[in-house]
């Protein structure tokens, strides 16, 4: 594996983080769950991937997201929010706001199209990211930053590529059943990590195979991810929206856009090493132990597990579809048509970005959209558009 060489400063940051992780391992009888390793690699204050100071998105970062690709993505979501405001409050809450680009595009579209929006909440734990967001969004007084999820909310919740970044558990099937994989220090290389089976007694509190369909039929040695943190997060979102409905009478709606599969596609027999993937300087590779703190670590989303978690917690499944179906149904081509075809300087990049977002060979099929809400159904024109592309039956 040949990857770009980091700067000395970046390398020192990674080494500091590695030392902290090794210390954590030593303090926990020589092994920590993979979820804890992933949490430290991504979120350790000042050192973790998402809480450090390096660029994450765009040409200078490690990967590109749809909002970074084109402002048309955010403009389309603003149009969706306008229709949802018929049944929710005129507020938006975004998780995983990153650079603030999506918020900027949504608020700019609201301004352009006279869409009334009272407040735009950003739930942000990273002081460094909040500072970047504050700079980008300084001209929008509607923006309010929160350090934690509120108890009640009844507007529109947005999360673009949020669920994939939540710490996951790695599980392996053995003769004795399913066991968590943990992270230990390599004895021969004091500065490196390795995956090891955890003591089976540590798994008594969780049923690792609960979200894996036909788990008993998978081969011995099968490795995959399970998502207890994301499932817990969905329970919290449900509690917040249900409390919001009880308080205000408005039915909040949550929209999750991410890459992933329904469970019957996620846990295929041939996908026996899971979906774990790392991103470093626009290179994708499977080694989660490469320069912790300097690379993203993600896993595809099990959308069946997310939908079940939301429904079991009291929400209604309103739609599940591909990103292509969602964006086309929501009118992204209408937003694109505002740019004159003759204006090749602006139209061609915008058209190319839309093509990438909706093409089955690009993001259109791999990325899915899950919509859950405190109301039994969506209202207005959006219902008809989304039902035309709905794939809830595949969950």
Q: What is the pLDDT of residues 40-94, one digit of tens each?
A: 999 998 899 988 755 444 444 445 789 999 999 999 999 999 999 999 999 999 9
- Please write the tens of the pLDDT for every residue from 274-286: 999 998 877 889 9
Pairing between β-strand 169-174 and β-strand 177-185 as defined by DSSP bridges: antiparallel
**Tokens (6 digits) for 140:** 């929008």
pLDDT interval class at 177 (50, 70, 90): confident
- Decide if 87 contacts 151 (C-beta within 8 A): no
User: Given CA atoms 189, 193, 197, 202 in this order, what sign does their dihedral have?
Assistant: positive
pLDDT tens, position by position, 185-243: 987 665 689 999 987 655 543 567 788 998 889 999 999 999 999 999 999 999 999 99
Q: In angstroms, rounded to a whole number, what is the distance separating the alpha carbons of residues 37 and 184? A: 10
* pLDDT tens per residue across span 141-172: 999 999 999 999 999 999 999 999 999 999 99
- pTM for this entry: 0.94
Unique residue bearing structure tokens 């599940």: 320
Q: Where are the beta strands (DSSP E) in the chain?
A: 32-33, 91-95, 119-123, 143-146, 156-160, 169-174, 177-185, 193-197, 223-226, 253-261, 277-280, 283-285, 296-298, 301-302, 316-322, 367-373
Q: Quick check: 384 pLDDT over 90? A: no
Q: What is the pLDDT of residue 191?
A: 62
Nearest CA to 366 among 330, 329, 333, 321? Answer: 321
Domain boundaries, the chain: 1-395
Give the mean model confidence (pLDDT) for residues 371-392: 85
Question: In this structure, which topology does domain 1-395 adopt according to CATH?
Answer: Rossmann fold (3.40.50)
The pLDDT > 70 percentage for the chain reads 94
Give the pLDDT band (50/70/90) at residue 127.
Answer: confident
Top-confidence residue, 282 or 115? 115
- The span from the first CA to the last CA of the chain, in angstroms, equals 36
C-alpha closest to that of 326 among 255, 237, 234, 252: 255
**Tens-digit pLDDT profile for residues 309-367:** 999 999 999 999 999 999 999 999 999 999 999 998 999 999 999 999 999 999 999 99
């Amino acid at each position: 594996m040949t990857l770009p060489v980091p700067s000395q400063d970046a390398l020192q940051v990674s080494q500091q983080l590695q030392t902290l992780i090794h210390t954590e391992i030593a303090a926990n009888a020589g092994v920590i769950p993979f979820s804890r390793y992933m949490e430290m690699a991504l979120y350790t204050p000042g050192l973790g991937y998402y809480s450090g100071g390096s660029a994450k998105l765009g040409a200078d970062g490690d990967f590109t997201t749809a909002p970074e690709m084109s402002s048309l993505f955010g403009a389309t979501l603003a149009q969706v929010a306008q229709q949802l405001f018929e049944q929710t409050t005129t507020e938006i809450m975004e998780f995983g706001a990153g650079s603030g680009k999506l918020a900027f595009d949504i608020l700019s579209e609201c301004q352009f199209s006279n869409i009334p929006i009272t407040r735009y909440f950003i739930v942000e734990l990273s002081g460094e990211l909040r500072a970047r967001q504050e700079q980008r969004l300084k001209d929008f007084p509607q923006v309010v930053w929160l350090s934690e999820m509120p108890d009640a909310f009844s507007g529109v919740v947005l999360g673009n590529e949020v669920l994939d970044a939540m710490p996951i558990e790695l599980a392996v099937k053995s003769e004795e059943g399913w066991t968590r994989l943990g992270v230990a220090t390599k004895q021969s290389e004091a500065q490196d990590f390795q995956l090891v089976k955890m003591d089976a007694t540590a798994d008594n509190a969780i049923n690792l195979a609960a979200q894996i369909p036909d788990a008993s039929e998978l081969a011995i040695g099968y490795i995959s991810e399970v998502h207890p943190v994301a499932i817990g997060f969905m329970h919290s979102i449900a509690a917040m929206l249900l409390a919001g409905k009880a308080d205000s009478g408005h039915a909040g709606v949550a929209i999750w856009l991410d890459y992933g599969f329904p469970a019957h596609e996620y846990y295929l027999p041939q996908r026996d090493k899971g979906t774990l993937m790392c991103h470093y300087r626009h290179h994708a590779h499977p080694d989660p132990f490469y320069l912790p703190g300097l690379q993203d670590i993600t896993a595809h989303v099990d959308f069946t597990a997310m939908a079940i978690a939301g429904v079991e917690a009291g929400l209604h499944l309103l739609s599940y579809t591909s990103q292509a179906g969602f964006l086309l149904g929501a009118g992204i081509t209408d937003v694109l048509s505002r740019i004159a075809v003759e204006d090749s300087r602006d139209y061609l990049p915008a058209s190319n970005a839309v093509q990438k977002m909706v093409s089955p060979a690009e993001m259109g099929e791999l990325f899915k959209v899950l919509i859950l809400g405190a109301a039994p159904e969506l209202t207005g024109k959006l219902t008809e558009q989304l039902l035309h592309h709905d794939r809830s039956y595949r969950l």
